[in-house]
Structure 1
Amino acid sequence: MPIRPYRRRRSVLYVPALNHKALAKLPALACDCVVIDLEDSIAPSRKAEARDAVKHFFETRVADGKEMVIRINALSSEWGADDLAMARQCRPDAILLPKVETARDVLDANDMLDELDARASLWLWAMVETPRAMLNLGAIAALGRDRSARLACLVAGTNDLVKDTGILATPDRRYLVPWLMQMVLAARAGDLDILDGVSNDFRDLDALGHECVEGRNMGFDGKTLIHPAQIDLANNAFSPAPAEVEDALAIRAAFALPDNADKGVISLGGKMVERLHLDQAERLLIKAGL
Structure 2
Amino acid sequence: MSLELTANALRLTMRDRELVRGLDMRVAPGDVWCVLGPNGAGKSTLLRTLAGLRPADGGRVLLGGRDVESFPPIELARRRGFLPQTIVDAFSLTVMEAVMSARHPSLPFWAWGESDTAPAVDALHTFELEDLARRDVTTLSGGERQRVNIATLFAQDVELLLLDEPLSSLDLHHQMKTLHELMRVATEQGRSVVYTVHDINLAFQHATHAVLLDGRGGALAGPKDDVVTSEHLSAAFHHPIHGVMLDDELFFRAGRLNGTPP
Q: Which TM-score bucket, shorter chain as reference?
A: 0.3 to 0.5
Structure with larger RCO (C-alpha < 8 A, sep 6+): 2
**TM-score with structure 1 setting the length:** 0.35
Answer 1 or 2: which has greater strand percent.
2
Task: Give the structure with the larger helix fraction.
Answer: 1
